[in-house]
Amino acid sequence: MAAETHAMDAPDATTRRDLAVRAAVEQGLVGGAEGTPPLVCLLDVAGIRASAAALTGAFAAAVAPGTPVLHAFAVKACPLVPVLRLLADRGLGCEVAGPGELALARAAGVVPERTVLDSPAKTVAELREALALGIAVNADNRQELDRLDALVAGAPTRSPIGVRINPQTGAGTIDALSTATATSKFGIALRDPGAREWLVRAYADRPWLTRLHIHSGSQGVPLSLIAEGVRDLHALAEEINAAAGRRQVDTLDIGGGLPVNFASDAEAPTYAQYVAALREAVPALFDGRYGLVTEFGRSLLAKHGLALSRVEYTKTTGGRRIALTHAGVQLATRTVYAPAAWPLRILPYDAKGTPKTGPPVPQDIAGPACFAGDLLATARDLPELAPGDLIAVPDTGAYFFTAHYGYNSLPRPPVHGFRTTPAGETRFTPIRPVQPPASLVAEAGGCFRDALL
């Protein structure tokens, strides 16, 4: 890994954010000038590096010396090649869920040996490619395992192969994200009648099955419930190995899903707290008998992203102040459609990029899309906003502006990484350009204009 010292000496995350907003205005990345983008998204490079170090450090402090550990970043959380490259430089691999994400990981220089393929609907072609490359594969279901039987018999592979289980330990506070419910679509349900016995036999019949996989965590799931699923995974591995009379399962892929705090700048829970919860629930996990794989996404990137939009207009309707901005459903799809589950903070700045103060006034923060529910916040108490002001939406580095929703053919916004020197200077690096109209036309079948005439 490249040695870095300036990140440790840089200002804290909140200060870096304020400096970046002001610098974005001063350097013309966003603002009111003609031709200046009305919306820009920023990623704090120092923050991303710090999260990666916290993850790798928490596990390094817990595992027995010599234990192989792969931290595979969940590409779905932030599918940007420069971000994957940055994380690879910090020692992380990639967890991919299809050919598109695999292509991004390979473009970032992530080698097959540090890549894991997970998906509930892998095609034969996807499985064949993964096995040819030597990418680790976690089978989701019995029918996929039948496909792997044929592929492994037809061509030798160096890919580690495992099976994903659903421990059926229960849901968190967000049903749509809970992957360990009794009827979850993911994995083989461990508590269904006969399932455990079938799994033990399946491994006995297939000496090339050497891994077990689980992903019981996500936003809204408490650490205790995540740890319970990992405990069940470890117990199943012990049972399989005892039945086999050897150490057939040598690696446990424990997934990711560490929740993120969206209510303040505090990072909680931490990776150290996550590891402590695992050590309490299943202390043998770290004794060196099993290699470990993790698949964190949101917790690595969320706190380090910022969407910054100009306030285009303000109005009062029915006694309610409304600020019309360029940040809406195309960025924060989950917040717009499920605001109670995905609340976001709104940070007000004036036109120069200085934090705005003043008496709080209830205001709606509205996006640009043509439907009434395109709101990032409702009746939020903020200093009264005016045209030309800016709103910043923090904690958006994962699953927000990187998972674009194309309502009204709104373009993908530009993304810049930023670094802050100890002296307070902010330097930006382009990560993704603004999506041009020609790209939108191409996506909408522009080259087939006359096809239906």
Active site residue ranges: 370
Do strands 347-349 and 426-432 pair parallel, antiparallel, or not at all (unpaired)? Answer: unpaired
Sign, CA dihedral 405-410-412-418, equals negative
Joined together, the tokens standing for residue 121 give 């609907």
Give how far Cα 324 sits from Cα of 214, 312, 385, Å: 43, 6, 10
Number of Cα atoms under 13 Å in the Cβ half of residue 419: 13
| CB-based contact 119:109 (threshold 8 Å) | no
Tell me which residue has tokens 């598109």: 100
36 burial via Cβ count (<10 Å: 0-12, 13-18, 19+): middle
Q: Is the peptide bond before 269 cis (omega within 30 degrees of 0)?
A: yes
Joined together, the tokens standing for residue 88 give 């690879």
Question: No. of H helices and E strands in the chain?
Answer: 13, 18
Beta-bridged to residue 393, according to DSSP, are 307
* 451 backbone dihedrals φ, ψ, rounded to 5°: -60, -30
Joined together, the tokens standing for residue 194 give 């006969």
Tell me which residue has tokens 């991004």: 104
Do strands 375-383 and 360-366 pair parallel, antiparallel, or not at all (unpaired)? Answer: antiparallel
**Separation CA 11–CA 44 (nearest Å):** 12
CB atoms within 10 A of CB 99: 16
Sign, CA dihedral 398-400-401-406, equals positive
Closest CA to 12 of 62, 56, 53, 50: 50
Joined together, the tokens standing for residue 286 give 């770290």
| CB-based contact 416:42 (threshold 8 Å) | yes
Beta-bridged to residue 397, according to DSSP, are none
**Separation CA 335–CA 396 (nearest Å):** 11
Joined together, the tokens standing for residue 265 give 């700048």
Joined together, the tokens standing for residue 18 give 């304020």
